[in-house]
């Protein structure tokens, strides 16, 4: 196990290093002068020269990379051209929206998926099983941003229960802030819940076929108690694995859904930075999101290895 953990740590470090190289290199592909691209053709020569110096464009590319990567290691992501503020500060501010949104969607998807998956497994082949599988098929097929638009149509424009967009800030109180996050979180949660419900159903059905379940039933333990006390806990390992692997899709989904609801989160910051040609912000946010995904994937791997008594496998188990 120690060898596996060490190997995983080494591969994590290599992946993080390569990810920083990828982000840095891709943004060097900008055709022409990046400073001119960011400031526009009407920029003053001294402003252009100052930005070139800030971006290190007068330095060799390796020096630039080392300077940027060193800053990244210290938590310094550079200064945004548009906001004239450190990117790290902007990220910290935006996380106050993105983090609760992601957590809320994870909670919602789990709250939806576990009972549905359990219900489908318990009533296999009956109407409720088909209904859950139908929901799962539909949920997987609907993109989160379309679900978001439909939710706005129903709950904001028709029923007026939730705001159609924007975020009042946590200073306005927890209630209004959470109210603004419910629909975006639900839009992100439905496709996740669809996948998780399928996984839960399969995992519970697999567990129900095991010997200890038959023993418990033979000893007279009720069907519901067997499901909740024996089958569900054993089925949670694959469910947690899939939940962890879904984090990268949650990151991508949040970028789009935050824009549907004009939520001032990281995704919105990234999208606006592209429009504003603020490459320093794009670079900082993308590398942070990538590092987050790498870290979560590694943690999922390690958690699975710790929970699984069999010898650990190499690789991260696919990510389709």
Partner 1 sequence: MKRRLPLSLHLGAGLTLLLVAMALLSLLWTPYPAEQVRVIARLKPPTAAHWLGTDHFGRDVLSMIMVGARNSLAVGAAAVGLGLLGGVPLGLLAAALGRWGDEAVARLGDLVFAFPAVLTAILLTAALGAGAINVVVALALFNAAVLARVARGAALAVWRRPFVGAALALGRGPLSVTLVHVLPNIAGIVVVQATILFAVAIVNEAALSYLGLGIQPPSPSWGKMLGDAQTHLFTAPLQAVFPGIAIALCVMGLTMLGDGLRDWLDPRHRSSGIL
Contact residues for partner 1, defined by CB under 8 A: 11, 14-15, 18-19, 22-23, 26-31, 130, 133-134, 136-138, 140-146, 149-150, 152-153, 157, 198-199, 201-202, 205, 248-249, 251-252, 255-256, 259-260, 270-271, 273-274, 279, 282, 286, 289-291, 293-294, 297, 314-316, 318-320
Count Cβ atoms within 10 A of the Cβ of residue 14 and give its class: 0-12 exposed, 13-18 middle, 19 or more buried: exposed
Count Cβ atoms within 10 A of the Cβ of residue 134 and give its class: 0-12 exposed, 13-18 middle, 19 or more buried: exposed
Q: How far is the CB of 46 from partner 1 (least distance, A)?
A: 26
Nearer to partner 1 (CB atom), residue 129 or residue 221:
129
Q: How far is the CB of 11 from partner 1 (least distance, A)?
A: 6
Nearer to partner 1 (CB atom), residue 146 or residue 170:
146
DSSP type of residue 75: T
Tokens 């859904």 identify what position?
257
Is residue 276 within 8 A of residue 288, CB to CB? The reply is no
Q: How far is the CB of 68 from partner 1 (least distance, A)?
A: 15
Nearer to partner 1 (CB atom), residue 31 or residue 175:
31
Is residue 164 within 8 A of residue 182, CB to CB? The reply is no
List, in order, residues 6 or more apart from 114 with CB less than 8 Å away: 196, 200, 232, 239
Nearer to partner 1 (CB atom), residue 104 or residue 282:
282
Q: How far is the CB of 44 from partner 1 (least distance, A)?
A: 24
Nearer to partner 1 (CB atom), residue 207 or residue 259:
259
Q: How far is the CB of 20 from partner 1 (least distance, A)?
A: 10
Q: Of the candidates 277, 270, 285, which has an alpha carbon nearest to the alpha carbon of residue 51?
A: 277
In angstroms, the Cα distances linking 302 to 53, 126, 185, 241, 298 are 43, 38, 28, 10, 6
Q: Of the candidates 190, 202, 201, 203, which has an alpha carbon nearest to the alpha carbon of residue 135?
A: 190
Nearer to partner 1 (CB atom), residue 75 or residue 143:
143
Q: How far is the CB of 91 from partner 1 (least distance, A)?
A: 15
Nearer to partner 1 (CB atom), residue 83 or residue 221:
83
Nearer to partner 1 (CB atom), residue 140 or residue 221:
140
Q: How far is the CB of 231 from partner 1 (least distance, A)?
A: 15
Count Cβ atoms within 10 A of the Cβ of residue 255 and give its class: 0-12 exposed, 13-18 middle, 19 or more buried: buried
Is residue 183 within 8 A of residue 230, CB to CB? The reply is no
Is residue 239 within 8 A of residue 199, CB to CB? The reply is yes
Nearer to partner 1 (CB atom), residue 221 or residue 276:
276
CA distance between the termini of the chain? 27
Q: Which region, left, alpha or beta, applies to residue 84 given φ > 0 means left and ψ of -120 to 50 means alpha?
A: left
Helix, strand and coil content of the chain, in percent to the nearest 5, comes to 75, 0, 20
Q: How far is the CB of 242 from partner 1 (least distance, A)?
A: 12
Q: How far is the CB of 49 from partner 1 (least distance, A)?
A: 23
């Amino acid at each position: 196990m120690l060898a596996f953990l060490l190997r995983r740590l080494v591969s994590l470090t290599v992946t993080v290093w390569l990810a920083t190289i990828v982000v840095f290199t891709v943004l060097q592909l900008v055709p022409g002068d990046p400073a001119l691209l960011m400031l526009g053709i009407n920029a003053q020569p001294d402003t252009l020269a100052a930005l070139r110096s800030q971006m290190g464009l007068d330095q060799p590319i390796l020096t630039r990379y080392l300077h940027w990567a060193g800053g990244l290691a210290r938590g310094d992501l550079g200064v945004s051209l548009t906001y004239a503020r450190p990117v790290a500060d902007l990220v910290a501010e935006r996380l106050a929206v993105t983090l609760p949104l992601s957590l809320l969607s994870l909670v919602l998807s789990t709250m939806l998926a576990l009972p549905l998956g359990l219900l489908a497994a318990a009533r296999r082949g009956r109407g409720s099983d088909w209904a859950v599988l139908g929901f799962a098929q539909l949920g997987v097929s609907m993109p989160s941003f379309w679900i978001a638009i439909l939710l706005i149509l129903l709950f904001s424009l028709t029923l007026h229960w939730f705001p159609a967009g924007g975020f009042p800030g946590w200073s306005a109180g927890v209630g209004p802030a959470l109210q603004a996050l419910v629909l975006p979180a639900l839009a992100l949660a439905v496709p996740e819940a669809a996948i998780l419900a399928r996984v839960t159903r399969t995992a519970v059905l697999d567990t129900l076929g095991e010997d200890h379940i038959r023993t418990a039933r033979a000893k007279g333990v009720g069907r519901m108690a067997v499901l909740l006390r024996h089958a569900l806990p054993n089925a949670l390992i694959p469910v947690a694995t899939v939940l962890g692997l879904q984090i990268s899709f949650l990151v991508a989904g949040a970028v789009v859904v935050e824009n549907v609801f004009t939520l001032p989160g990281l995704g919105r910051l990234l999208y606006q930075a592209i429009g504003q040609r603020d490459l320093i912000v794009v670079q900082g946010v993308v590398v942070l999101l990538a590092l987050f995904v790498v870290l979560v994937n590694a943690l999922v791997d390690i958690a699975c290895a710790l929970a699984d008594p069999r010898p650990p496998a190499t690789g991260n188990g696919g990510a389709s």
